[in-house]
């Protein structure tokens, strides 16, 4: 170790100085001192925070496919910009993404050959039935919405996706706390032991999907996950017959950030899960790099339905392989309040019965009534909120755990070092 060492004190954050004579470090500010093992742990943690992440992806190889005349026929939606390749038998009807009927024929300079694809498994009838089922039991759905839902206009589209695989190596530091509590008389003594935890580990993620379609909201496509990859086949244009296909207009490079965020969150949480035996663990720093990676271009089957209700546009997407639906239904706020008040009232009445049963007539007071009302209002709010949440199934994906091959997860470095202790005393005289 060199003579000059600069650290932040793990206990108080003050700059810390090297004290040669004691063979360790001492903090002039808070008086904590640290031995060599602790100094090394702090050094490893500093290294993590100085290390920068390197998440560069290799470019996918791409091959353009065209007709004999060097073009490929389809249509363009002037409203949302979607570039759709249509099977001749289908013709251009309306844009599957935004419902615009004024689509124009368009000859494209070919389309890139997908590496893999999943063929449609659910036909139009089953897609329509699943959609109808989706409306069912949705208590806040406005009357009349399901009647005018244009189910016959549902369209099957092969949506372009980037499937991204990588071996990710994460280096992370955490703070772990073990808490011991002891009560004596009217005092509670809390002892917190703080540990510096360091983990380096690697793991393989396979085929995390990100859609390559600008016209489609990312959260809608994330909401369709997961696809069953055992259904992946080599690309064959015979599968396109009877369906639309969307040319990608979001490049592999443009989706890399979405994927990086998901991988980073998953790697950090996997490493964190190996820090066991603590009452709480917090991330201090993390850095990530890819040891290897691969991007594949895929076409995945999606049934699309765009519908208008009271001048608002609603889009629904259904996984054409599994039937999972992603979309946002309109909410009837009148119904929302009706269910909220109904749940509140039921809970309030039950509360009265319970008070009468357990406490008799003495139980009724201003205070208990207020408490029961507050609890009832909360129940009503939570119930109506859960009904509201069921109206939307589109959600942005924030992690990639589904795509982690857990067998490949290896912890390469690990250390758990006790750093310092903090003591607190709480007054418990008021019976807390
Ligand atoms: Zn200190
Ligand atoms: Zn459109």
Each residue's pLDDT, cut to its tens digit, for the chain (432 residues) gives 444 556 778 788 888 766 565 567 788 888 888 888 888 888 888 888 788 888 899 988 888 887 777 778 888 888 888 888 887 666 657 888 888 888 888 888 878 889 999 999 999 999 988 888 888 888 999 988 877 667 778 899 999 999 999 999 999 999 999 999 999 888 999 999 999 999 999 999 999 999 998 888 888 888 899 999 999 999 988 888 889 988 888 999 999 999 999 999 999 999 999 999 999 999 999 999 999 999 999 999 999 988 888 888 888 899 999 999 998 888 999 999 999 999 999 999 999 898 888 887 777 788 888 999 999 999 999 999 999 998 988 888 899 999 999 999 999 999 999 999 989 899 887 654
For residue 356, the Cα-to-chain-centroid distance in whole angstroms is 47
Q: Which ligand is nearest to the CA of 27?
A: 1
CA distances from 394 to 95, 115, 224 (A): 20, 27, 8
Q: Which ligand is nearest to the CA of 29?
A: 1
Q: How many whole angstroms from 97 Cα to the centroid of ligand 2?
A: 5
Q: Which ligand is nearest to the CA of 32?
A: 1
Give domain status of residue 27, yes or no: no
Q: What is the DSSP string of 325-361?
A: EEEB----HHHHHHHHHHHHHHHHHHHHHHHHHHHGG
Q: How many whole angstroms from 395 Cα to the centroid of ligand 2?
A: 22
Residues 271 and 372 in one domain: no
Give domain status of residue 288, yes or no: yes
Q: How many whole angstroms from 142 Cα to the centroid of ligand 1?
A: 61
Residues 373 and 326 in one domain: no
Residues 295 and 356 in one domain: no
Residue of 286, 326, 281, 287 lying closest to 303 (CA atoms) = 326
pLDDT for the residue 91: 65
Residues 285 and 374 in one domain: no
Residues 327 and 348 in one domain: no
For residue 267, the Cα-to-chain-centroid distance in whole angstroms is 14
* Residue that is last in its domain, among 389, 407, 423: 389
Q: Which ligand is nearest to the CA of 14?
A: 1
Give domain status of residue 33, yes or no: no
Q: How many whole angstroms from 232 Cα to the centroid of ligand 2?
A: 28
Q: How many whole angstroms from 285 Cα to the centroid of ligand 1?
A: 20
User: Residues in the chain, how many?
Assistant: 432
Q: How many whole angstroms from 84 Cα to the centroid of ligand 2?
A: 9
Q: Which ligand is nearest to the CA of 215?
A: 2
Give domain status of residue 17, yes or no: no
Give domain status of residue 232, yes or no: yes
Give domain status of residue 35, yes or no: no
Give domain status of residue 20, yes or no: no
Residues 325 and 342 in one domain: no
Give domain status of residue 284, yes or no: yes
pLDDT for the residue 1: 42
Q: How many whole angstroms from 405 Cα to the centroid of ligand 2?
A: 37
Q: Pairing state of beta strands 72-76 and 104-108?
A: antiparallel
Phi, psi of 142 (to 5 degrees): -60, 145
Q: How many whole angstroms from 69 Cα to the centroid of ligand 2?
A: 27
Q: Which ligand is nearest to the CA of 214?
A: 2
Number of domains in the chain: 2
Q: d(Cα 43, Cα 407) in Å, to the nearest integer?
A: 31
Residues 305 and 363 in one domain: no
Residues 385 and 413 in one domain: no
pLDDT for the residue 219: 86
Q: d(Cα 196, Cα 284) in Å, to the nearest integer?
A: 9
Q: How many whole angstroms from 34 Cα to the centroid of ligand 1?
A: 10
Q: d(Cα 172, Cα 44) in Å, to the nearest integer?
A: 10
Residues 118 and 141 in one domain: yes
- Decide: pTM greater than 0.85: no
Q: Which ligand is nearest to the CA of 101?
A: 2
Q: Which ligand is nearest to the CA of 9?
A: 1
3-state helix, strand, coil in the chain (%, to 5): 30, 35, 35
Q: Pairing state of beta strands 116-117 and 111-112?
A: unpaired
Residues 237 and 351 in one domain: no
> What is the extent of the structural domain holding 321?
52-331+397-432
Q: How many whole angstroms from 170 Cα to the centroid of ligand 1?
A: 29
Residues 241 and 346 in one domain: no
Q: How many whole angstroms from 82 Cα to the centroid of ligand 2?
A: 6
Q: Which ligand is nearest to the CA of 25?
A: 1
Q: How many whole angstroms from 99 Cα to the centroid of ligand 1?
A: 63
Residues 235 and 344 in one domain: no
**Do residues 183 and 341 touch, judged by C-beta distance below 8 A?**
no
Residue of 303, 326, 307 lying closest to 148 (CA atoms) = 307
């Amino acid at each position: 170790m060199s003579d000059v060492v600069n650290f932040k004190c793990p206990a108080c954050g003050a700059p810390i100085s090297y004290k040669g004579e004691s063979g360790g470090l001492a903090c002039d500010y808070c008086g904590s001192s640290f031995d060599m093992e602790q100094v090394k742990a702090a050094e490893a943690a500093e290294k993590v925070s100085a290390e920068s992440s390197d998440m560069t992806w290799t470019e996918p190889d791409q091959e353009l496919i065209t007709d004999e005349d060097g073009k490929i026929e389809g249509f363009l939606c002037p409203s949302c910009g979607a570039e759709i390749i249509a099977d001749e038998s289908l013709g251009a009807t309306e844009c599957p993404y935004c419902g615009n009927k004024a689509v124009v024929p368009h000859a494209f300079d070919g389309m890139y050959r997908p590496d893999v694809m999943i063929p449609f498994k659910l036909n139009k009838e089953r897609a329509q039935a699943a959609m109808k089922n989706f409306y069912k039991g949705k208590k806040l759905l406005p009357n009349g919405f399901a009647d005018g839902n244009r189910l016959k206009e549902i369209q099957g589209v092969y949506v372009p996706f980037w499937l991204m695989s990588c071996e990710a190596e994460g280096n992370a530091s955490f703070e772990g706390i073990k808490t011991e509590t002891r009560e004596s008389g009217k005092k509670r003594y809390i002892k917190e032991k703080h540990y510096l935890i360091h983990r380096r580990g690697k793991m393989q993620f396979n085929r995390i999907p990100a859609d390559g379609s600008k016209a489609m909201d990312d959260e809608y496509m994330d909401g369709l996950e997961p696809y069953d990859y055992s259904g992946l086949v080599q690309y064959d244009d015979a599968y396109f017959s009877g369906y639309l296909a969307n040319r990608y207009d979001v490049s592999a490079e443009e989706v890399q950030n979405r994927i990086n965020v998901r991988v980073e969150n998953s790697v950090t949480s996997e490493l964190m899960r190996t820090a066991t035996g603590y009452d709480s663990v917090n991330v201090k720093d993390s850095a990530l790099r890819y040891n290897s990676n691969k991007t594949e271009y895929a076409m995945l089957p999606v049934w699309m339905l765009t519908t208008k209700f009271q001048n608002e546009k609603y889009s629904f997407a259904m996984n054409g392989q599994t039937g999972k639906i992603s979309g946002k239904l309109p909410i009837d706020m009148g119904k929302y309040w009706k269910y909220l008040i109904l749940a509140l009232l039921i809970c309030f009445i039950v509360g009265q019965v319970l008070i009468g049963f357990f406490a008799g007539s003495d139980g009724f007071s201003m205070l208990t009534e207020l408490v029961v009302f507050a609890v009832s209002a909360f129940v009503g709010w939570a119930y109506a909120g859960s009904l509201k949440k069921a109206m939307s199934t589109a959600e942005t994906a924030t992690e990639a755990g589904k795509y982690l091959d857990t067998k490949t997860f290896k912890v390469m470095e690990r250390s758990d070092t006790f750093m310092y202790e903090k003591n607190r005393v709480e007054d418990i005289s008021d019976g807390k």
